[in-house]
Amino acid sequence: MAITETPRIFSTHEVINQPPPLQDYNLYTCDAPLMEAVRREGAAWAENDIAAFGAKMGSEVFITHGRIANEVLPKLHTHDRFGHRLDWVEFHPSWHACMRAGIEAEVHSLPWNHPQPGAHVARTAKHYLLQQTEAGCCCPLTMTFAAPPALRQQPDVAEEWMPRITATQYDERNLPPHEKAGCIMGMAMTEKQGGSDVRANTTRAVPVGPEGPGEEYLLTGHKFFVSAPMCDAFLTLAYTDNGFSCFIVPRWLPDGTRNRFFIQRLKEKLGNRSNTTSEVEFCETWGRMVGEEGHGVRTILEMVFHTRLDCATGTAGLMRQALTQALHHTHHRSAFKALLKDQPLMRNVLADLAIECEAATALAMRLSHLYDVVQQDPSRQPLARLLTTVSKYWICKRAPNMIFEALECHGGDGYMDPSPMPRLYREAPVSSVWEGSGNIICLEALKIMEREPDAMVAFMEMLDQARGVDRRYDAYLVALEKELLNLDDIESRARRIVERMALAAQAALLLQHAPDFIAGVFCRTRLDGDEGHTYGALPTGVPFTTIINRAYGMT
């Protein structure tokens, strides 16, 4: 039987009980723990500039750029249509917009361009903010930022490259460095047979003429993980007849012709998709030795410690964005006749996430402050190295589960890719793997404590500054000291030791600088064991609403 009646119109697609888009807000001024850390760690002079960058990163324009850069992925062009080698990666304009914003804000160079107290802190704050909008571009910016300490071990190379990589103009063109307004720097260390065991590398370097630091070599080998292969030059490792050495390999030769830098393929990755990671062949590829021959690992470690700094601080930024998204959603979404933020169990989850995030931020910013201190007092470098490994390990390990819990606050909407939550979750493991996975980092911490005893002395002095404030903290320090004195089977206990060191450092900072309702709950749950095995299992008596209101920052 045919239906002839005109159908009635139903409002089946009226959108209700959905939060408004989170955009056109200031990522800096809504983050009280970050603002407080910037001021106390010596970068108050840069606060207006940081706040302006926070507004840019929170704008609809740049949030859209970040999304598109991760949806329209880079494309490798090995040859042009006539068959000539190109070895070039094409990016969407949104990627270039984010890169340009980062370079103009000196995320790649601020401490080198403005060497003054607080410069590392100011630069870290911007990196922390950029990470929240588009994390992929932070990889080449970080490597460029980290290159100068290694390059300075070869003054003639530094003289040539420092002006290029500290320039504040972004130039994406594939041209010889001397024709560009600014350059970016990458690194190429690992090979498929060795991974973190870089001494298992097989790449060889043969001198063109004279041997030694600053001289020309031809490198042959296969690099398995080369992130950001569109960079203008790379620091890499290869064996000479006299040992494992560090080299700078540019994409273009001094005469303006292409170097033999052959991109084999782009990797398919879990996250960090806007940024390319590749495999590269060196086939008699021209480079110059940087630093002392046979001491390549020592030379490039100067770069690695700065990239590890960014692993910790950038991951703290990801955690903050996950928390911000969860807070925004729960402040606007209702269920069972009440806003989610007012539901008792959701308040427990949000408060727990806020405490975790504040602890990560406090540790990240203190670590950055230490890099400023080292500029004035090199004797503090052992502590900076130790705290870098401890912070990198712990913050990066905590991030994936913390971000997952923030995702779950959204329910099914948080699992869908139009939401920023899946991208944050996919991004979370990157820094834990990059620049040394968990085991490598913990073993590195043990080496530093063994080889540089001053590092451990300074670390305990840092913890002692909070002794006497909280009985649970004091008891935890006693237990930590016993743990550190016990050398039995220490390698198998390395994760346990570094974890406890990180928690003690976070607690010390919170007890000295955070409100009592943050520091007290942290000590009760993270140090005294009064917590569950998942976020949102805080005990009764916690001031959930007060903690959430501090974290929200948008009222």
pLDDT digits (tens, 9 = 90+) for 155-179: 999 999 999 999 999 999 999 999 9
pLDDT at 313: 97
Domain boundary among 235, 269, 298: 298
Same domain, 328 and 284: no
CA distance 318 to 133: 9
352 and 252 in a common domain = no
On whether residue 153 sits in a domain, the answer given is no
Please report whether residue 352 resides in a domain.
yes
Closest CA to 38 of 142, 119, 115: 119
Per-residue model confidence (pLDDT) at position 154? 96
Report the C-alpha gap between 32 and 226 in whole angstroms.
37
In a domain, 169, yes or no: no
Low-confidence ranges of the chain (pLDDT < 70): 1-10, 194-195, 555
Amino acid 218: pLDDT: 97
What does the pLDDT read at residue 78? 94
Whether 198 is covered by a domain: the verdict is yes
Do the domain assignments include residue 166?
no
**Does 199 share its domain with 122?**
no
- What's the pLDDT at 3? 59
Amino acid at 132: Q
Separation CA 180–CA 165 (nearest Å): 11
Provide the residue type at 207 as one letter: P
C-beta separation of 95 from 139 below 8 A: no
User: Do 55 and 126 belong to one domain?
Assistant: yes
**The last residue of a domain, from among 148, 163, 194:** 148
For residue 529, the model assigns a pLDDT of 85
CA 135 to CA 81: how far, in whole Å?
Answer: 33
- What H or E segment, with its residue span, contains residue 41? none
Tell me: the pLDDT tens digits for 346-376?
A: 999 999 999 999 999 999 999 999 999 998 9
pLDDT reported for residue 530: 82
What's the pLDDT at 7?
Answer: 65
In a domain, 322, yes or no: yes
Domain shared by 411 and 384, yes or no: yes
Q: 116 with 59, same domain? A: yes
The β-bridge relationship of strands 85-90 and 75-79 is antiparallel
Label residue 271 left, alpha or beta by phi (over 0 means left) and psi (-120 to 50 means alpha): beta
Domains held by the chain: number: 3
Closest CA to 519 of 459, 461, 471, 457: 471
Confidence at residue 199, expressed as pLDDT on a 0 to 100 scale: 76
Residue 458 and residue 372 share a domain: yes
Look up the domain containing 276 and give its range.
177-298
pLDDT value for 198 = 76
pLDDT of residue 555: 57
101 shares its domain with 200: no
Tell me, what's the pLDDT at 191? 86
Question: Do 383 and 523 fall within a single domain?
Answer: yes
Closest CA to 549 of 511, 515, 508, 522: 515
Query: Do residue 77 and residue 209 come from a single domain?
Result: no
